[in-house]
Amino acid sequence: MSSDPKSQAALKTALTEAARLTDAALESLLPLPAGYHARAQEAMRYAVFAGGKRLRPFLVLASSALFDVPQGRALRVGAAIEALHTYSLVHDDLPCMDDDDLRRGQPTTHKKFDEATAVLAGDALLTLAFEILADPATHPSAEVRCQLVALLARAGGSEGMIGGQMMDIDAPNQSHGPDEVILLQRMKTGALFEFACEAGAILGQRGPEDRERLRGYARDFGLAFQITDDLIDETSTAEAAGKAVGKDKDQGKATLVSIYGVDGARDQAEALARSAQDAVAIYGPAAAPLEALPWYLIGRES
């Protein structure tokens, strides 16, 4: 069983609502541009409000809903992850990295402002993520807040997202097989998905079993998500995708699509979506959005 149209419609509503709430939270948490240094804060806001699915905040909200976490707390954690995710996009787009002029059809931050401002705005978004988490408004328990800080730092650090980006930059120089491609994905994008899903259990002060189950869910759907990204990169047009496509192939990078072929990769994405869905079914009706999400993600076209 995949996901029925009704669940998909409900999920779309939930995604839209989560994005709206996240944007409101970010609006109030991002500093207002003022003073001689206003340019950095304008660039922070430009990058954050350039669009985006707010998928990671949605995951925090959805996992928090399993454990009756007050929504305001989940939204702060979601805003922190989105700030960190946005910084990674701003830095990855820089000329010395992926050198992208467009993101979601808009000029990237260094094109809209300049490179120095983009570096600083990225640095400031990363820093802000931790400031948000450490604030007592995020959770009354300082132990919980410290766990969130430590886990986000690990997920976003040199053994997580940054390590994945480093590995990705070096990828054309390495002959990666499937294990390395999966490792790269798990570090570069998976670590943050895992944190977003685990965050609900942390905010809900649940034990290791729930935390590990949600991490497992994130691992499966995260890989399915990446395979879908690679399928879009392989088969879509730039117009439909709203971004440059075919870059991995041009750069000679191995992906699960180049290794297993389009059909093989599609089968694998479906198997992973099913596994993710099964992992959270135990939580009953509250898990419906998390169950529907993997199917939604592997069905998208951009």
Q: Are 195 and 175 in contact (CB under 8 A)?
A: no
Q: Does 115 bind its own copies (CB under 8 A)?
A: yes
Q: Does 15 bind its own copies (CB under 8 A)?
A: no
CB of 232 to its own copies, least distance (A): 24
**Residue 174 and residue 167: Cα distance in Å, rounded?**
9
**Residue 122 and residue 115: Cα distance in Å, rounded?**
11
Nearer to its own copies, 132 or 288 (CB): 132
Q: Does 37 bind its own copies (CB under 8 A)?
A: yes
Q: Spell out, one character per residue from 123 to 152, where the chain touches its own copies: x when CB under 8 A holds, - when not.
A: xx-xxx-xx-xxxx----xxx-xxx-xx--
Residue carrying structure tokens 């120095």? 116
**Residue 149 and residue 131: Cα distance in Å, rounded?**
9
Q: Does 244 bind its own copies (CB under 8 A)?
A: no
Q: What are the DSSP calls for 18-75, one per residue?
A: HHHHHHHHHHHHSPPP-STTHHHHHHHHHHHTS----HHHHHHHHHHHTTT--HHHHH
Q: Does 174 bind its own copies (CB under 8 A)?
A: yes
Q: Does 234 bind its own copies (CB under 8 A)?
A: no
Q: Count Cβ atoms below 10 Å from residue 89 Cβ, excluding itself.
A: 20
Binding stretches for its own copies (CB under 8 A): 31, 35-37, 39-41, 44, 87, 91, 94, 96-97, 114-117, 119-120, 122-124, 126-128, 130-131, 133-136, 141-143, 145-147, 149-150, 153-154, 156-159, 162-167, 169-170, 174, 180, 183-184, 187
